[in-house]
Structure 1
Amino acid sequence: MAPLADFLVTHLPLPNVPYHYTHYVVGKTPLSTTPEVVAGLVGYLVLVFGLREYMKDKQPLKLTTLFQLHNVLLSSGSLLLLTLMMEEIAPIAWKHGIFYAMCHQSSWTRRMEFYYMINYYFKYWELADTVFLALKKKPLAFLHVFHHSATALLCWSQLNGKTSVSWVVITLNLAVHVLMYYYYYATAGGAKIWWKKYLTSMQITQFVIDLFVVYFATYSYYASTHWASFDLPRLGSCAGTENAALFGCGLLTSYLFLFINFYIQTYKKPARAKPLVNGNSTANGVANGNGVVNGHAKGH
């Protein structure tokens, strides 16, 4: 049976596009340069906080159908991308081992690079989450806004750094997003979801695994290069630039602490009177009022 990627290429009427739309070429691929990325993320912040100010004296918009469509597309898109990435990397891991799949330069295949690009562009699509919050007059929590903008920056940095371990972080993130965006789709339609607390736990578990993997990959790189003269245990080096690795380690570490704090604030603190915002109760600055942080990512 042909892989899903081959099936899609063969059976879908895909147009011929320039090389830099299917391969990451700095300066030609959209949103690949520092000025473009900075302009995009600054524009995002200006837009959402501008909308918040604009909506202050206006009634919140419902936008239920549009919001559900947004979420079901992101959930199904995340599932498709997750499937494509796993069918590409699984044979490499099966044949050569998990360390090879995570660290060897040949794991950065042409298809994986294209999937990384799609995942990166998903991060800009996901910025619409915050636009919905602003138009609905929901609180713009720091964690939500920071996580959305920083994750787009993280994906861009890993594309530039060609870190082969990226697929581990991204596939975990996509798996969480399949459930998370389904959750938002369902609850927007009035469904009662009992597992929202466990979704937050999944988000935290994702970052714990992420950190173990990226710190291990970064250690492997340094143990085989800068620390080669020391008698350290090592399996080999990991592909990718130092700046991308260090930035990924630092940002993912901040995510873990921020999400643990969110979990404690939301689920562990004693119940107290909740302030009313436009007739709806909100607690602890939760971005959407449902006890789940939208947009993991999210990780990469």
Structure 2
Amino acid sequence: MLQGIQDMGSQAMDLYNYLIAGFDPRISSYPLMQNPVPMSIILLCYLFFVLHLGPRFMANRNPFQLKEAMIVYNFFLVALSIYIVYEFLMSGWATTYTWRCDPIDTSNSPEALRMVHVAWVFWFSKIIELMDTIFFVLRKKHGQITFLHIFHHSFMPWTWWWGVNYAPGGMGSFHAMVNSTVHIIMYFYYGLSAAGPRFQKFLWWKKHMTAIQLTQFVLISIHATQWYFMSSCGYQFPVFIHLVWIYGTLFFVLFSNFWIQAYVKGKRLPKQGMKNQNGTAVHTNGKHLENGSKHRKYVTSDGFIHENGTSNGHSTSNSSAHYDNGKMKRA
């Protein structure tokens, strides 16, 4: 039995060494790219904090007020996403790529190295975006920490780490460019939302955010589907085309389910008699007391919680929606 365990360990090490040997040598000098251990530790720590340590730490504490930090964070990600999209365009998608079968340029040309760089920046932006959930935990917005949210924030950086190491560029990078384009819109929206009620008039497109997310997954899946109908294609790592197609389709299904639950079935409604995160009762007549201020909440056909009064010290109008870290708090 001991010999069998040793043989399995040896085979596992052989597989690990084989996987490492296939990495693109141009990416080896970038931080956290030498082996999957540091990246995996970061994601495991993220999951441990979000699912256990953070809620336990906040159990007997009041929610942190992080308005300024969230504004800076969201607009920083807007700027970073703009940079990423521009670099993807300039390193291939707006210059030499055909938007169909585009192999990875494995040379050391300036354009190829530029693509390697932006591929790494895109991956690292996914690590930065883990702060989305950290803000939820510290502000005790537990309702926003869904399976979809955690799966999206942990699964994508883990898979993209392998993608960057093997295939920094080519047709497999299309979904990264599209995702960053969506994030320009998304984090701009979150930043304005976090800035307070006076910016609500600029958020008329709030109901379209989920539709924008769904559109990106359709585009990603359509682009990847081309590969299956090509007579020949020189893209070096078809496995990533399969993963991208699965990714686009899976997240389309998950976000569609969210859309149906939130907008069609209206199941994300506040329960009668429930308590808010500060322990204040919400009565069946819609009135409640939050941080000492009276509120009236009501749900409109768009699926958002509208309120009259103040929320955590910030005044809102009758037609304004309630937001968590800039994300709409749907009914």
Structure 1 residues 87 and 289: CA distance shift in structure 2, 3 A: closer
**Structure 2 contact 54–138 (Cα < 8 Å) conserved:** yes
Q: Out of 143, 156, 169, which is 1:151 matched to?
A: 156
Q: What residue is the counterpart of 1:165 in the other structure?
A: 171
Give the distance between the partners of 2:31 and 2:163, measured in 1 at CA.
15
1:121-163 deviation line (CA, Å, top 9, x unaligned): 0110000111000000012111111101111012212213316
Structure 1 residues 264 and 291: CA distance shift in structure 2, 3 A: farther
Q: Out of 180, 184, 187, which is 1:181 matched to?
A: 187
Q: Out of 93, 113, 118, which is 2:116 matched to?
A: 113
Give the distance between the partners of 1:272 and 1:44, measured in 2 at CA.
26
Q: What residue is the counterpart of 1:79 in the other structure?
A: 82
Equivalent residue runs for 1:179-258 within 5 Å: 179-190=185-196, 191-192=199-200, 193-217=203-227, 219=228, 234=231, 236-258=232-254
1:26-76 deviation line (CA, Å, top 9, x unaligned): xx5332222222212111111222112211221111111011101000011
Could you tell me how far 1:107 is from its partner in structure 2? 8.1
Q: What residue is the counterpart of 2:54 in the other structure?
A: 51
Give the distance between the partners of 2:240 and 2:126, measured in 1 at CA.
18
Give the distance between the partners of 1:180 and 1:107, measured in 2 at CA.
33
Structure 1 residues 72 and 58: CA distance shift in structure 2, 3 A: same
**Structure 1 contact 117–159 (Cα < 8 Å) conserved:** yes
More strand by percentage: 2
**Structure 2 contact 172–240 (Cα < 8 Å) conserved:** no
Q: What residue is the counterpart of 2:42 in the other structure?
A: 40
Larger radius of gyration: 2
Could you tell me how far 1:241 is from its partner in structure 2? 2.3
Could you tell me how far 1:240 is from its partner in structure 2? 3.3
Q: In structure 1, the residue corresponding to 2:62 is in which secondary structure? A: coil
Could you tell me how far 1:265 is from its partner in structure 2? 1.2
Structure 1 residues 274 and 238: CA distance shift in structure 2, 3 A: farther
Letter in 1 for 2:89: M
Q: Does 1:63 align with 2:73?
A: no
**Structure 1 contact 199–292 (Cα < 8 Å) conserved:** no
Structure 1 residues 60 and 92: CA distance shift in structure 2, 3 A: same
Give the distance between the partners of 2:246 and 2:124, measured in 1 at CA.
22
Q: What residue is the counterpart of 2:14 in the other structure?
A: none
Give the distance between the partners of 2:134 and 2:248, measured in 1 at CA.
24
Runs (4 or more) in structure 1 with deviation over 6 Å come to 280-284
Q: What residue is the counterpart of 1:224 in the other structure?
A: none
Q: CA RMSD in A?
A: 2.9
Give the distance between the partners of 2:171 and 2:329, measured in 1 at CA.
27
Aligned residues: 251
Could you tell me how far 1:210 is from its partner in structure 2? 0.4
Letter in 1 for 2:102: C
Structure 1 residues 77 and 131: CA distance shift in structure 2, 3 A: same
Q: Which of structures 1 and 2 has the larger relative contact order (alpha carbons within 8 angstroms, sep 6+)?
A: 1
- Ranges in structure 2 where 5+ consecutive residues have no aligned partner: 1-24, 281-289, 291-296, 305-322
Give the distance between the partners of 1:136 and 1:112, measured in 2 at CA.
37
Q: What residue is the counterpart of 2:18 in the other structure?
A: none
Q: What residue is the counterpart of 1:6 in the other structure?
A: none
Give the distance between the partners of 2:26 and 2:67, measured in 1 at CA.
36
Q: What residue is the counterpart of 1:225 in the other structure?
A: none
Give the distance between the partners of 2:173 and 2:210, measured in 1 at CA.
22
**Structure 1 contact 214–245 (Cα < 8 Å) conserved:** yes
Q: Out of 257, 261, 266, which is 1:265 matched to?
A: 261
Could you tell me how far 1:287 is from its partner in structure 2? 7.6
